[in-house]
Structure 1
Amino acid sequence: MNARVWLVVLILLQPIASWAQGYAGLGGSADGFDVPKRDYQFEFPRDHGPHPTYRIEWWYLTANLTGEDGRDYGIQWTLFRSALKPSEADGWQSPQLWMGHAAVTTPETHYFAERLSRGGIGQAGVAADPFEAWIDEWYMRGPDLNTVSLSASGAEFAYDLDLTAQGPLVFHGDAGYSVKSADGQASYYYSQPFFEVEGVLNLPDGDVAVTGHGWLDREWSSQPLASDQTGWDWFSLSFDDGDKLMAFRLRGGRGDFTAATWISPDGTTTPLPNGSASFTPLNTTRVAGRDVPTEWHVTLPDRGLDVEVSAMTPDAWMATQFEYWEGPVTVKGSHTGRGYLEMTGY
């Protein structure tokens, strides 16, 4: 690789290298960037688009699917934006950098792929109206965020899916202001957890028609973690009775910080503050040279929730520029259902 190519690689990876501090640099200084404040007035479709004066942002979609073959599958499609400085510019002067992750998880195997891009040159970006998020040939797009088509591919997989929202957007924390630490770090955070999904997975053994349910998370901030927080365990669970749960545990030197949102079938939300939920690892799996919890006991006494959450495919490791675990899970106990689990910092 010649010196010019190495320079481009270093430019592209600069924010990823900084993200290694406090997992993904999310506990680093927000100097010069905007920071979330309470009582933000969300406006759509504007806020489906990018917020370049904030340091970090993502469009994060996961889906639990069932194939015409009767087997369960999971997919991930994620576009991350990271800013070198709080502004936007055309061409190579743009300080915005983009990273895409895509994955398909089968009961036996986890396939994943990654894309990197500099902003300002048309290779990656997000437009709010009509909605389109893309990096290279990967895309999530539609007339708005209620009806979108989704496409991605890697060396051993591809998928083309159509998603239609069957419920409203939901806002986490205090009307979308999601606190992440006792020190008050926060993000803006809303979700569309009511997507119905249908389409086709292209896998080494052939094409599989699938249907299921998807969950989109939208989040942006400039310093969402405290400096001592090293990673998180994040759950999005859809129960067979129609209720849903978003819950997370942030691990830090001063102890865990937790939060949750209970989502009723009609989209009514109940925010649950730090300490409301408990997360206890039951079993670990040796993945990529580390021990990763792949079975959990999750309780939420305020809602009578007492469940075991188990990975469908324990080695669903994303060996990307910054590594993490991401995959579909099953739920049994007081509630039954399916969902997704993300774990970072292990």
Structure 2
Amino acid sequence: MSFPNLDKRTLAFSVTDKDTGWYKNYETTFAKDAYTWSTRGLDIKTPGLTWTGDARKMSVRTTTPWGSLNVQLKARGPVMKYAGTGSFPLLGDTNYEFALPSMQTSGTLTVQGRTQRVSGESWLDRQWGPIGTDGDPAMHWTWMNLSLPGGDKLALWDTVNSKTDNSWATVLHPDSSYDLAPVTPLADGAHRPWASPTSGNTYPTRWTIDIPALKSHLSVRLTGTDAQELTGGMGARIEAKASFTGTYQGKKVTGNNYVEMAGNWKA
């Protein structure tokens, strides 16, 4: 993560066991001159991280005091451009976001001295641009990603401040076509709050998501532990493992997804 105006960079790494609830994270901040990248390709180096390759194939290696990750990723399918163009309004400013939502992934994960092989599909996301918080205590946002049957990829944004409440979804189909749809504001279906003893923030851990234009009604819940909070360089936020069930385009669906939340949801 890069914060040009603050002259610092942040590396965050977390692992969740959705079955046992075990969770551990690591977050460190370092000076901007300890972060290097290439303008001719993907070649990023920071303390504890090496990320090389190109838009179709890449390698990621990261090391923390208690574990490490060494994986190779290969892109399959089209690139997702959020809102269909890669540009959208976010809390009064313009942001830019793209994703490679279907990355074939393999490698090793080491946790507390134990190494195991890992494989599956990853969602790689890239976002940049200003975020107009301006100290607004009402500001909070939620981002979710869902991989759906048939190859559809759905990304959901819900942003709230004292002036606006904007909730919408981008759906990327395997043939590179898009659906863009309004979402019923997440606060209407958010429940079972968890209060962080570290930051003092309150976050929902369950959601009911309605997307009428897509004939979709989904239930999402955090899996593992509710306490999947990072509190380092980027501020307090939830970066959490989740799962979903319900209907999409009128058909029953189920799967695993990811949830990011920032800000305090306490009424």
State the SS of the aligned residue for 1:145: coil
Contact 2:154 2:172 in 1 (8 A): yes
Q: Which residue of 2 aligns with 1:138?
A: 49
Shift of residue 177, structure 1, vs aligned partner: 1.3
Residue 246, structure 1, aligned to residue 159, structure 2: no
**Which of these residues, 50, 55, 59, is aligned with residue 149 of structure 1?**
59
**Which of these residues, 308, 311, 315, is aligned with residue 227 of structure 2?**
315
Question: Aligned equivalents of 2:191 and 2:258: distance in 1?
Answer: 17
Q: Evaluate the alpha carbon distance shift between residue 168 and residue 129 of structure 1 in structure 2; reply closer, same or farther with a 3 A threshold.
A: farther
Q: Quick check: which one's strand share is greater?
A: 2
Contact 1:308 1:332 in 2 (8 A): yes
Question: Aligned equivalents of 1:234 and 1:226: distance in 2?
Answer: 16
How does 1:34-49 map onto structure 2 within 5 Å?
none
**Which of these residues, 23, 41, 55, is aligned with residue 110 of structure 1?**
23
Shift of residue 243, structure 1, vs aligned partner: 1.4
Paired residues in the alignment total 249
Q: Which residue of 2 aligns with 1:266?
A: 175
Structure 2 runs not aligned, ≥5 long? 248-252
**Which of these residues, 272, 276, 282, is aligned with residue 191 of structure 2?**
282
Question: Aligned equivalents of 1:340 and 1:194: distance in 2?
Answer: 14
Contact 1:260 1:271 in 2 (8 A): yes
Contact 2:36 2:44 in 1 (8 A): yes
Contact 2:67 2:113 in 1 (8 A): no
Q: What TM-score results when the alignment is normalised by the length of structure 2?
A: 0.85
How does 1:1-346 map onto structure 2 within 5 Å?
80-84=1-5, 96-107=7-18, 108-119=21-32, 121=33, 123-142=34-53, 144-173=54-83, 175-181=85-91, 183=92, 185-204=93-112, 206-222=114-130, 224-225=131-132, 227=134, 228=136, 230-272=139-181, 275-279=182-186, 280-288=189-197, 289-313=200-224, 314-321=226-233, 322-334=235-247, 335-346=253-264
Q: What TM-score results when the alignment is normalised by the length of structure 1?
A: 0.67
Bigger Rg over Cα: 1
Question: Aligned equivalents of 2:259 and 2:172: distance in 1?
Answer: 17
Shift of residue 81, structure 1, vs aligned partner: 1.3
State the SS of the aligned residue for 2:65: coil
- Structure scoring higher RCO (CA < 8 A, sep ≥ 6) equals 1
Give the stretch that moved more between structures: 308-317 or 279-288: 279-288
Give the AA of the match of 1:282.
H
Question: Aligned equivalents of 2:178 and 2:106: distance in 1?
Answer: 26
User: Aligned residues: percent identity?
Assistant: 20
Q: Deviations over 1:78-132 (max 9, x none)?
A: xx11223xxxxxxxxxx8432111111112222211232222x3x2133243312
Q: Deviations over 1:29-62 (max 9, x none)?
A: xxxxxxxxxxxxxxxxxxxxxxxxxxxxxxxxxx
Shift of residue 332, structure 1, vs aligned partner: 0.6
Question: Aligned equivalents of 1:277 and 1:263: distance in 2?
Answer: 20
State the SS of the aligned residue for 1:241: helix
Give the AA of the match of 1:339.
N
CA RMSD of aligned residues (A): 2.1
Shift of residue 137, structure 1, vs aligned partner: 2.9
